[in-house]
């Protein structure tokens, strides 16, 4: 499921993050990928061991934990600590698929399965030319370039790329989610059911019917969830 999650970060938090990233010590983004990824990746990242990366990651994790749409769509069991990247001067990332299993910093014995990928945009689209996230799925290619503070979530199994940034710079945070529900089609079913319940509740639908639908949602989640 491909989903736009608006307003994950507020303006004050975005401004704070951008000020910090101006002074950051960036390194070659190829350090965090394997040989195949290194052939098509041209960007910069905050080092995983950077105290700034850890501080900004905590802000992102706090924001997504309070976002009901993000939670409903991803049903997170575990989240990989967010990373941060910068594209400029023609930087790009060619078509690739994210690794299936990620080792968390300092805890290689507790890997995360990448069910869902997330890109959180940190500056406005008019700040740079290019830098579109292109996601390829069974319905074709989708071009994503969102407002600062907005996120896109999509299956980690999707083929995707970032087009060259030819003016300005593109700043983003990116991370992966291991969901309680591994299967994308099952997550979509649960999300659509949850969204329908929320809409019906807001319109004053019959309470008994809502209780039955809520019971169906939780029984499906109980059946499909992996803990």
pLDDT digits (tens, 9 = 90+) for 4-55: 999 999 999 999 999 999 999 999 999 887 787 789 999 999 999 999 999 9
Per cent of the chain over pLDDT 70 is 98
pLDDT value at position 107?
67
pLDDT band, very low/low/confident/very high, at 139 (cuts 50, 70, 90): confident
Q: Domains along the chain? A: 3-179 (2.60.120.620), 184-224 (4.10.860.20)
- Within 56-214, strands assigned E span 76-79, 83-88, 92-96, 101-104, 107-113, 116-121, 128-130, 133-137, 140-144, 151-155, 159-162, 165-179
The token pair that represents 63 in the structure block: 């924001």
Which structure tokens are listed for 103? 């080792």
Contact between residue 151 and residue 70 where contact means Cβ atoms under 8 Å apart: yes
105: pLDDT strictly greater than 90: no
Indicate if the pLDDT at residue 106 is higher than 90: no
Question: For a pLDDT cut of 90, what percent of the chain falls above it?
Answer: 90
Give the residue from 106, 73, 97, 76 showing the smallest Cα distance to 191. 73
Read off the pLDDT band of 104 (50, 70, 90): confident
Whole-model pTM?
0.95
If one compares 137 and 77, the residue with the highest pLDDT of the two is 77
State residue 13's pLDDT score: 98
Region of poorest pLDDT, from 92-106, 139-153, 205-219? 92-106
pLDDT for 110: 83
The closest alpha carbon to 150, from 8, 39, 21, 45, belongs to 8
How high is the pLDDT of residue 190?
A: 98
């Amino acid at each position: 499921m491909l989903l736009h999650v608006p307003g994950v970060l507020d303006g004050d938090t975005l401004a704070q993050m951008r000020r910090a990233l101006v002074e950051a010590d960036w390194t070659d983004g190829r350090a965090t990928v394997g040989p195949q990824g290194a052939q098509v990746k041209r960007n910069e990242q905050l080092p995983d061991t950077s105290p700034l990366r850890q501080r900004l990651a905590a802000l992102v994790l706090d924001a997504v934990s309070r976002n009901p749409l993000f939670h409903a769509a991803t049903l997170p069991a575990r989240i990989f600590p967010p990373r941060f990247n910068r594209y400029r001067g023609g930087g790009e990332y060619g078509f690739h698929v994210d690794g299936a299993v990620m080792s968390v910093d300092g805890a290689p014995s507790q890997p995360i399965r990448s069910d869902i990928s997330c890109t959180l945009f940190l500056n406005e689209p008019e700040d740079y030319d290019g830098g579109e996230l292109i996601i390829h799925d069974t319905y074709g290619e989708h071009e994503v370039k969102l407002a600062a503070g907005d996120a896109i979530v999509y299956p980690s199994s999707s083929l995707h790329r970032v087009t060259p940034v030819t003016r300005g710079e593109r700043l983003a945070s990116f991370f992966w989610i291991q969901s309680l529900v591994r299967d994308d089609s099952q997550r979509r079913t649960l999300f659509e059911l949850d969204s329908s319940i929320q809409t019906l509740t807001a319109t004053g639908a019959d309470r008994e019917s809502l209780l039955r639908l809520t019971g169906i949602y939780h029984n499906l989640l109980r059946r499909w969830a992996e803990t």
